[in-house]
Chain A
């Protein structure tokens, strides 16, 4: 006897839900595994007095965003509003 279409669809959804549950379990395991590194990072930040994560280091003004001036790009390149690609993704210090 062949399965009804709805049964096949619901079975596929059940597989997707099982994969979703596996992803949640994996996420939980990854978060636990990342905890020691996060603590080491926080300790280093406190010890050195760091202010910014290293996300965009293609230019001086994108490396330490919380410490930079809004007009900093003009200091690096007088004719461009924005020189580096990462500058278009960042807003600078508020």
Chain B
């Protein structure tokens, strides 16, 4: 048979398969809808978390190489200034700076702010730089006053010197940058003590060795490397863990049951149709090809609908269905708009996982039935 002939044959089989699906219009529409919904849900999570993961990785490239915390009785403890000096002199370390940061619960809005002292005079005493989320939730503009309550109940009235750009939502949404004196007044932090120490290690190969050395020097220290920070967020955003599993386990299970139900047997109508085809002289290969086209038509259509709808949902619609899950009970939430991820492999995997099993589930029972006598199939005895 020529190639043209073979293609024409397959096209006729596709015509037949589409005709068979058209005769069971309601059932086919329901199957495509369920299948497309599953693809939509999985692809939405995949695209959103994939985009976020790439954005987080790019942002954390500038994170401290090593952060050294101090633990006392199992809790974070302030680090003495002596640690900063000692860590800065270690071989392989190009610099160490004590970081001053903490959390402030803003009772009116119910938001948790991250208060931080920046290097380089960003915030002068009495002034503050607010993150875009803080400004949004508290309705702040440049020049406004921001009243805070210090650890001992006194009022601390700060002037908003600037609002951070919306471009830095992902990392600075809840930040409030204040001067060191205001920070110490707000939290009652003793002079000469820091929240933790950021250590710069220019050679990435030396980070692990240095981390071990720091723990030997300061047994009450906990060391967090940048690789660990990135790994933490890779684990959190890994669509196969947490989020996808929690949200989609039910849908995946329902679809598995549906596919299993199809794989375990044909309906009486389908058996009758199969018997007639065989009696008319169709060989088993053609019957199987027609069934494979049926399965492929359903699953490829569903994949196309689901994947395109997911793209529109996440990147044109701002992932409105996923946001409540990520937001939790937070009062202050960053306006996350991740860029589409560069990962065609993930979508190809989704295509493979949704289309191939479905086509197989359609063909396998047919292959079993096709070996039975046509007469028995038509009578319903097989």
Instruction: List the interface of chain B (C-beta within 8 A of A).
Output: 11-12, 14-15, 18-19, 22, 52, 55-56, 58-64, 67, 69, 74-75, 97, 99, 103, 111-112, 114, 116, 118-120, 131, 133, 164-165, 167-175, 177, 196, 198, 224, 228-229, 231-233, 235-236, 241-243, 246, 297, 300-301, 304-305, 307-308, 311, 315, 325-334, 336, 339-340, 342
Contact = CB atoms under 8 A, between A and B. Distances in A.
A33 to B, nearest CB: 8
Interface in A43-94: 43-60, 62-67, 69, 71, 75, 84-86, 88-94
28 contacts: A4-B15, A5-B14, A13-B300, A13-B304, A23-B308, A31-B342, A37-B168, A38-B59, A44-B168, A44-B172, A47-B62, A47-B120, A48-B175, A48-B177, A49-B99, A51-B60, A51-B229, A53-B60, A54-B169, A55-B334, A57-B174, A58-B329, A58-B331, A60-B103, A66-B232, A67-B224, A86-B326, A86-B329
A11 interface: no
B69 to A, nearest CB: 7
Contacts of B311: 23, 26-27
Contacts of A51: 60, 63-64, 67, 224, 229
Interface of A: 4-6, 9, 12-13, 16, 19-20, 23, 26-27, 30-31, 33-34, 36-38, 40-60, 62-67, 69, 71, 75, 84-86, 88-94
Contacts of B333: 57
Contact of B174 (A23, A31, A63, A66): A63
Given A62-B328, A93-B232, 17 more contacts: A16-B305, A20-B304, A34-B55, A42-B59, A45-B60, A47-B120, A48-B175, A51-B64, A53-B55, A54-B334, A63-B114, A84-B329, A86-B326, A88-B246, A93-B224, A93-B228, A94-B232
Contacts of A54: 114, 131, 133, 169-175, 334
Closest 9 CB pairs of A and B: A46-B62, A27-B340, A86-B328, A34-B339, A37-B167, A16-B304, A58-B330, A66-B229, A45-B62
Contacts of A4: 11, 15
Contact of B329 (A5, A31, A63, A85): A85
Contacts of B60: 45, 51, 53
A31 B330 contact: no
B339 A55 contact: no
A53 B59 contact: yes
Contact of B229 (A52, A55, A59, A69): A52
Contacts of B224: 51, 66-67, 93
A91 B236 contact: yes
A38 B58 contact: yes
Contact of B171 (A53, A58, A65): A53
B291 to A, nearest CB: 16
Contact of B233 (A30, A33, A65, A86): A65
A42 B61 contact: yes
Given A31-B340, A63-B112, A94-B231, A9 B14 contact: yes
Residue among B111, B177, B327 with most chain A CB within 10 A: B327
Contacts of B11: 4, 6
A89 B242 contact: yes
Nearest to A65: B232
Contacts of B339: 27, 30-31, 33-34, 38
A57 B232 contact: no
Given A31-B339, A44-B172, A89-B243, A6 B59 contact: no
A1 to B, nearest CB: 15
B112 A16 contact: no
A41 B307 contact: no
A24 B243 CA distance: 25
Contacts of A93: 224, 228, 232
B233 A41 contact: no
Nearest to A71: B74
Given A9-B297, A23-B308, A38-B58, A65 B236 contact: yes
A43 B62 contact: yes
Nearest to B71: A69
A50 B333 CA distance: 18
